[in-house]
Amino acid sequence: MSPVARSDALAQRSLAVLLEGQSRSGAFIASPSFPVYHYAWLRDGAFCAHALDLVGEPSAARAFHAWVAETLLAHRSLIEEALARVEGGERRGWKGAATPSAAPEHMPPARYTLRGTLEDAGGQAGAAEPWPNFQLDGYGMWLWALAEHLRNDPPQGDVRAAAALTARYLAAAWNLPCFDCWEEWGGGEHASTLGAVVAGLEAAARILAEPVWGETAQRVRAVLRSRFSDGRRLRRGAQDDRVDGSLLWLGVPFGVLEPGDALLRATVDAIREDLAGPGGGLYRYRGDTYFGGGQWLLLTSSLAWHDAVAGEHALAAAEQAWVRAQATDELELPEQVTDHALSPAMVQPWRQRWGPVATPLLWSHAMYLIAEAAVG
């Protein structure tokens, strides 16, 4: 176990939650106690695998990457059919979207069952209706985490084949309207999604030694800077001037913007000003109503990660202290805390629908470990 995992009881428990939440297949369940989250998201899993790499558990991370590769190759025909539709310029199924695209139900999903199969057509267990399942960000995040795991060494066998397939998919589909990392439409265009695509394509260019993916990433980066900026800072969507906590990832870890970039600095400043709640936790975005729109632990650790890399160690330590204070008596971290929700009237309706906030959330524990490693 690494020094980080030995440093405090919550870090030790976080490591245990990740390992206990990894199925024999290699997939990570999003939350074992929250039925609606009994699936494996590529997005959540990418951060879980990265955390395990950082705390000295590379074999567990390797098992996740092998599961992703096996799963994607098992659904190669779905991905190839989606590529054919996109390249053919099919237009339908998109809530008024103006860009050529394939119908969202025909696109590769954001989540799979722990066995690597597609979820039932009826949607997730406990959900009143099918959840949005076309999101590009997780595929970019997987390639980023894979490159970090491999330390940029070439992947082999099925992992290489799956990485190449994923890069083709991202390069073809990056400008399609899709749901964001919070499973919300929000106009179909999201800065954090494009940031994940840039990170994934650049990772693919390195590990596959195929510069074309890097060239595509540069085009996506240019669109991100031109269409998702108000001239001073980044905004949540091309037509949405609000900030979003997920914009933090465009700096750390995705490196879409350099730490000293004025656009990134102004964006982080706006996140602190607009999204910091009482005590220092971060909201996702203004207007959030999911479980009332509470303060999210994984975003607070994301800010700590950014601050640690930027040399703001006192700020990072304070943000991590806030996260530790939200742990249950069993040292489990929830998805969010709702004591100071943005929309208090919406807390109880969500509890009646799905039960208490997801606890533990593996992604929260992963981000805590990653930020702890950065804080040192």
137, 180, 288, 332: the active-site residue: 180
Beta strands (DSSP E) in the chain are 40-41, 111-112, 282-283, 295-296, 336-337
189, 244, 319, 335: the active-site residue: 335
Q: Catalytic: 335? A: yes
Whole-angstrom Cα distance, residue 105 to residue 82? Answer: 10
Whole-angstrom Cα distance, residue 140 to residue 142? Answer: 5
Complete DSSP assignment for 328-352 = -TT----SEE-TT-SSGGGHHHHHH
Helix, coil or strand: residue 101: coil
Contact 358, 30 (CB under 8 A): yes
Complete DSSP assignment for 34-98 = -GGG-SEEHHHHHHHHHHHHHTT-HHHHHHHHHHHHHHHHHTHHHHHHHHHHHHTT---SSTT--
Q: Going by DSSP bridges, is the β-strand pair 295-296/336-337 parallel, antiparallel, or unpaired? A: antiparallel
Helix, coil or strand: residue 28: strand
Kindly state the tokens that stand for 111: 């989540």
Q: Catalytic: 180? A: yes
Q: In sequence order, what are the residues at sequence separation of 6 or more whose Cβ sits closer than 8 angstroms to the Cβ of residue 222?
A: none
8, 183, 210, 240: the active-site residue: 183
Element (H, E) at 160: helix 157-173
Strand partners, 296: 282, 336
Which residues are the active-site residues? 180, 183, 335
